[in-house]
Amino acid sequence: MNNQTSVYRPTFTKVDFFIIFGTAVFPPVFLAVGLLQVVASHRFSYRKGSNYSLLSTLLVMTFLWIFIYAYFVSFAGLESSIRTKETQSLMLIVAMFCLPLIVTFQVMSMRANTYFKGLETSYKELLLNQDHDEIAEIARQVNRKPEQATEDIMFLMQENTLPSGTIEDGIIYWDGENDEEEEEEEEEQEQEDDESNNDDDTLEVETDSSQKAEQEAAAESSLIRSIPSKLPKSTQCVGCGSKVILQPEESKECEYCGSWLNYM
């Protein structure tokens, strides 16, 4: 798994830019569309900062539109000096209403973005450095609901601030992780096969050695059995003292004195 990831930077989406452009042209419609966009997406933590910033931008666009419309349409029939004065008075009233909201939304946007960046850091620590893969445990660590943590992590994957992967049954699976496991299993199987083959070869060698040893032992035993247990020996005659050669178990008469000699 590749731990080299980028850092999420909140930006407007294409829909947001479309709403901003539409508000600059005709606020009565697109300001309402912008509010619907905020309501629909505000449950996502990663959208809150962008939503507050969007509201602030829409108020600025609305303020500018009111100024242009008032000067060129509403007060177009008045004299130049009066038109300018009336426009300034109107814009002062509008500014007193819009400016606090714009500042408030900007502050809330910064706070929301800071909060989500903290979440992003926590997710990276748990997922990449501590190798957690259970959504329930991760959600508990960051004090979020499991479904919220799932939405956050999937979004960070889409933004490439986390490695790509999938979430199934509350478990995170990084792309390529299964392939690595399969490769490891194949390598382990190959090692087991090699060890098994080596064991077979060793067993064959041991069997051959054992058979050879048995054959050698049998040959030695046969050779030993073929050798007589008793050998001829020279015996001195008790009668005349001459030496007589006797075979095993043999008894014979001394040729000199006639005494009988026995193989002892």
- What's the CA gap between 120 and 104, in Å, rounded? 24
Per-residue pLDDT reduced to its tens digit, 72-123: 999 988 999 999 999 999 999 999 999 999 999 999 999 999 999 999 999 9
Predicted pLDDT of residue 263: 66
Asked if 105 and 60 count as a contact pair (C-beta separation under 8 A), the reply is no
Mean pLDDT computed over 19-28: 94
List of residues 6+ apart from 33 with CB closer than 8 A: 19, 22
- What's the CA gap between 174 and 34, in Å, rounded? 36
pTM, two decimal places: 0.64
Predicted pLDDT of residue 91: 94
Which three-class secondary structure state does DSSP give residue 244?
strand
Per-residue pLDDT reduced to its tens digit, 129-156: 998 999 999 999 999 999 999 999 999 9
- What's the CA gap between 232 and 249, in Å, rounded? 9
Provide the pLDDT confidence category of residue 191 given band limits of 50, 70 and 90.
Answer: confident
pLDDT of 166 higher than 70: yes
Provide the pLDDT confidence category of residue 239 given band limits of 50, 70 and 90.
Answer: confident
Predicted pLDDT of residue 230: 64
List of residues 6+ apart from 137 with CB closer than 8 A: none
Predicted pLDDT of residue 7: 76
Beta strands in 163-210 (DSSP E): 165-168, 171-174
Task: Answer with the residue of higher pLDDT: 229 or 53.
Answer: 53
Per-residue pLDDT reduced to its tens digit, 193-234: 677 666 666 666 666 666 777 777 666 666 555 545 566 777
Mean pLDDT computed over 245-263: 74
Report residue 114 CA to chain centroid gap. 28
Q: Could you tell me where in the chain the CATH 1.10.10 domains are found?
A: 132-180
Task: Answer with the residue of higher pLDDT: 262 or 14.
Answer: 14
* Average pLDDT of the chain to the nearest whole number: 84
Predicted pLDDT of residue 52: 97
**CATH class of domain segment(s) 132-180:** mainly alpha
